[in-house]
Structure 1
């Protein structure tokens, strides 16, 4: 009897249970599913879109630069242009560019949608070149104020378009990181303006150099945008689907372009049903939160 029991126990140990077999099958299927999911959800290369993003952030760099460019040289500017001690004039020289930025920002959406993102960047660079040149060459307060005001229109247009452009050309998994580049570029612009303004007390007229140097990155922005990709989102909205797919291939790779276009078509169909007019913000159920 004991031998029979021992034989049965040995047989039990050697025979795999149905539960164990099922668990092995589940684990095998789970591994296979993970491998398939890994292939399907692989991210496109971030290196393709990075140069385009860096060019776009030049506009944010210039925004920071022009905010800080008058901090160090303000006393020298006031002495050379004859308004030393006039606090109102000094305050206007510092802040009038923000007035221009207000109007530039108001127009940024219409310009970006009307002529495209690349042309909008080039248009933002133009007043920054013209206005900075006027400020660098002027011999009176009026010329300085006009130059700063013109620069401000470009400052309002450029960073607003940059935020839109970076979002539209970046792969989803690095979109937040690339978006942070805009803020970082602004900080670098402020630091750069303060650094360049250091010799202003030792070198007479150095403030003109501070303004003149800002035309270089503005010109680089305008020229480099010729070689950058246009926003595929804007091209698709214009009905230029083939061109949008080509730009997606430049930014994400050939394997990701078809999928990106299909996602755009889904979003576009959703936008058609959820369109909200400006008037609805003041009237109707959208106005309840105001």
Structure 2
């Protein structure tokens, strides 16, 4: 009830009914309240920040590309570098990258707060270029692991900064839609790695080309960020008022600078307030609950088993008798299709509903995998159920569990702690991701698919219960209303 009486601007200006009837601002559209009553709102243009957001999404594209680049190429890499048949070595090629990502992620909050969002993006591109070059030219396992570690540090830095940047430069009425762009970019990166990696089994040394290709978008990210807008939120927190106003005008237009400054003044006091945020503040006290929610949400996302599918789908398809290139292309198409649907629904159905439906659907899909592994049905039926269950799992993930957590966290964290809190939660993400990549093949051999997939399904159901009890809906709410719902007053 208290939130209804709070006047919010959220980067747009209000117009009177008469003015709106006589003529709508060219950049404006009509908005509808949750009660169904039309209200007159002149929004800033959604087109102005779009180029800057697309540049930022290059980091998410690289994230997806490097997640999938070893999928089709791992067999060729192991043969050429002399560790074929060693599941531990193969797991290290996958998970060393994730270990580097953990390191990059831990420092992402301090880097993005200290240097700014633009410089953080450029810094994440540098180790990706160096690491890809090392992996492409190595003649042994050690060089591959070192290159993957360097790439990982950039991967760990990029996603949390991208989530921050997109939420901070997006108009509120399309924040959910633009927040989905990072997931779509990740899907495109995964698909690109699958398409480019397809000839690896037939063309000797093609896997080296796959690593060289990744240096191109990394170089573009570093170059184009030089011409992109800095986050007004970051500039305001650093006390750079004139630059903040200039970037607000660049992103939203001159008529929206005043309302944008008013919005920023509600969340921040300006100056160097950001420098006094200590790591200990995130682990106890008034911010503990939101950090815990974010950390558990990312942990459950990874414990669902999704990255086991992305890393080792070729192995699973091969065991089911399906050509891995065809199967992986299907995974990529389903993943990006679901992400596009999520983009459309994000600001309509809301974040919480998408999360609940997504995790429940993933549990059902894992149930199909368990049945397929039990040999209850005939051989052909098991084949269809196994492949269909995997594709259904990926589809449900892309509808909610994939795109929502990063966006949701950038909304529920107060701007004062946002970057560092994102770093903590993403660090949890990478720790779980690391062990899934390292141990999946060994656990599959030790436990068998029935037990392992059942465990994944139980984590998905646990996520449903957790989201139902702890996650608040942020659709249609100002950042101030979200903060008041989650953060108790001093």
Q: Same fold (TM over 0.5)?
A: yes
Aligned length in residues: 259
Query: Match of 1:279?
Result: 280
SS in 2 for 1:57: helix
Distance 1:176 1:73 in 2: 35
Matches within 5 A, 1:186-225: 186-225=186-225
CA 1:192–1:156 in structure 2 vs 1: closer, same or farther (change >3 Å)? same
Distance 2:112 2:255 in 1: 28
CA 1:287–1:106 in structure 2 vs 1: closer, same or farther (change >3 Å)? closer
Alpha-carbon shift at residue 269 of structure 1 (Å): 4.1
More helix by share: 1
Query: Match of 1:229?
Result: 229
Query: Match of 2:179?
Result: 179
Matches within 5 A, 1:97-176: 97-176=97-176
Distance 1:203 1:51 in 2: 37
CA 1:276–1:244 in structure 2 vs 1: closer, same or farther (change >3 Å)? closer
Distance 2:243 2:150 in 1: 34
Please, which runs of 5 or more residues in structure 1 have no aligned partner?
1-29
CA 1:36–1:243 in structure 2 vs 1: closer, same or farther (change >3 Å)? farther
CA 1:203–1:109 in structure 2 vs 1: closer, same or farther (change >3 Å)? same
Higher mean C-alpha deviation, range 248-257 or range 279-288: 279-288
Query: Match of 1:84?
Result: 84
Distance 2:224 2:239 in 1: 25
CA 1:265–1:212 in structure 2 vs 1: closer, same or farther (change >3 Å)? same
Distance 1:137 1:36 in 2: 65
Distance 2:200 2:222 in 1: 29
Matches within 5 A, 1:1-150: 32=18, 35=21, 41-150=41-150
Deviation per residue, 1:150-175 (Å, 9 max, x gap): 10000000011000000111111111
Q: Contact 2:238/2:270 (CA < 8 Å) preserved in 1? A: no
Query: Match of 2:398?
Result: none
Query: Match of 2:418?
Result: none
CA 1:31–1:288 in structure 2 vs 1: closer, same or farther (change >3 Å)? closer
- More contact order relative to length (CA 8 Å, sep ≥ 6): 1
SS in 1 for 2:113: helix
SS in 2 for 1:225: helix
CA 1:237–1:34 in structure 2 vs 1: closer, same or farther (change >3 Å)? same
Please, which runs of 5 or more residues in structure 2 have no aligned partner?
1-15, 26-39, 293-490
Distance 1:32 1:285 in 2: 44
Deviation per residue, 1:163-208 (Å, 9 max, x gap): 0000111111111100000111111111110110111122110000
Distance 2:285 2:48 in 1: 45
Alpha-carbon shift at residue 36 of structure 1 (Å): 9.0
Distance 1:260 1:287 in 2: 29
Alpha-carbon shift at residue 32 of structure 1 (Å): 3.7
Query: Match of 1:24?
Result: none
Q: Are 2:265 and 1:265 aligned?
A: yes
What RMSD over aligned residues (CA atoms) do the two structures have, in Å? 2.5
Q: Contact 2:78/2:90 (CA < 8 Å) preserved in 1? A: yes
